[in-house]
Amino acid sequence: MARLLEDKIAIVTGAAHGIGRGHALELAKHGAKVVVADLGTSVQGEGRGDDADEVVELIAKRGGTAIADFADVADTEQAKALVERTVTEFGRIDIVVNNAGIARDKVIWNMTPEDFDAVMRVHVRGTWLMTHLASRHWRSRYQAGERFTGRVINTTSGAGLAGNFGQSNYATAKAAIVGLTLTTSLELARFGVTVNAVGPGGMTRLTATMGKDLKAFEPDELAEDEYHPMDPAGSSPLVAWLASDEAQHVSGQVLRAIHDKIYLMGGWTEDAVISSDEKKWHATTLGARLATDVFRTRAPGLR
C-alpha cells in the first residue's frame, strides 16, 4: 500500500528544531523526499549553524530521503538557490511548508524597530518569498501543459489570531501570514495548488523564551506513539494530511492543532450591522446606535 506522500518532494523551512523538525520527520515517514531548510540561527535570529544535518541523519536512519540546506529564506538569492537546488536534486517541488521564524519578545515601548523588522523579515518576507518562488515553478509547469497538485502550508500562531502581550512584532507577522494564505489560495487555485495555514502548539525553543522555567525538547525525544500535550510535532500529522492528495478540496483555511484538538478557525465575520439609510453619519449621534445595536452595551429599551 502506497504511503500518503509517496515520492512527493517537500521543502520544510525552519526544520532543524521543534515544529519544523517534527514536520520534516512526519513528511518523510509518509514517503516524501524532504529538503530540511534551516539557516541554523539562534531563537533571536543570530548566527548560523548546521543543525539541519542532524534531521537529515534522523530521516536517513528511519529509511527516508532528505538533504539539508542552509539558505536564509528571507534573502532573495538564497531562497532562489534553495528552490533551484530542490528542482535539480529531485526534479520538481510538490510541497512547501513555511515554518521558519524567530522571536524577539518585548512590550511595545521597549521593542526596537530593529526587533520588529527582524521578526517581520523572517516570518512574512520569508513565507512570501518561498511561496512566490514556488508559485513561479508551478505556473511554469502548468503553462507547459502539466497537471499536478501542489501544496503550501504556512505557520500561523495564536498570537496572530488573538494577540499576545509582548509580541507586537510576532503577532503582526503571524496575522500577516493568514492574509497571505487567504490571498494566495485564490491566486494558485487554477494550478491545482492549495494554500492553508496551521497554528501549532509545542514546547519549542521559541515557546521556552516565555518563561524561565520552560525547557524546550525535540519531537524525536518522544517515543513513536507517545502523547505529550506540548509535543512540538503535535500538528505534524495534520500538516502531512494537508500535504497529501486527499486534501485537494481544502484550501484557504486556518486550522489550529493544540494538545489533542484540531480547530477550524473562522475568519472575520460581519457580526453586527447598522445603516444610515443613505444619509451621512454624524459622530455626535453615532454613539447611541453603536452602543445599542453593535456593541450591545446599552439596553434596546433605551432607544
Active site residues: 157, 170, 174
Question: Exposed, middle or buried, 222 (CB in 10 Å: 0-12/13-18/19+)?
Answer: middle
Q: What are the start-end ranges of the H helices in 91-190?
A: 113-120, 126-143, 158-162, 168-187
How far is the C-alpha of 95 from the C-alpha of 272, rounded, in Å? 39
256 membership: H or E segment, kind and range: strand 254-258
CA 108 to chain centre: 24
47 conformational bin, left if phi > 0, alpha if psi -120 to 50, beta if neither:
left
Cα separation, 43 vs 93, whole angstroms: 28
Nearest residue to 69 (alpha-carbon basis) of 57, 58, 59, 83:
83
The residue assigned the cell 492553508 is 196
Backbone angles phi, psi at 276, to 5 degrees: -90, 5
Q: How far is CA 131 from the centre of its chain?
A: 11
Sheet strand arrangement including 33-37? 65-69, 33-37, 9-13, 95-98, 150-155, 193-200, 254-258, 261-264
Q: Please, are residues 97 and 25 in contact by the beta-carbon 8 Å criterion?
A: no
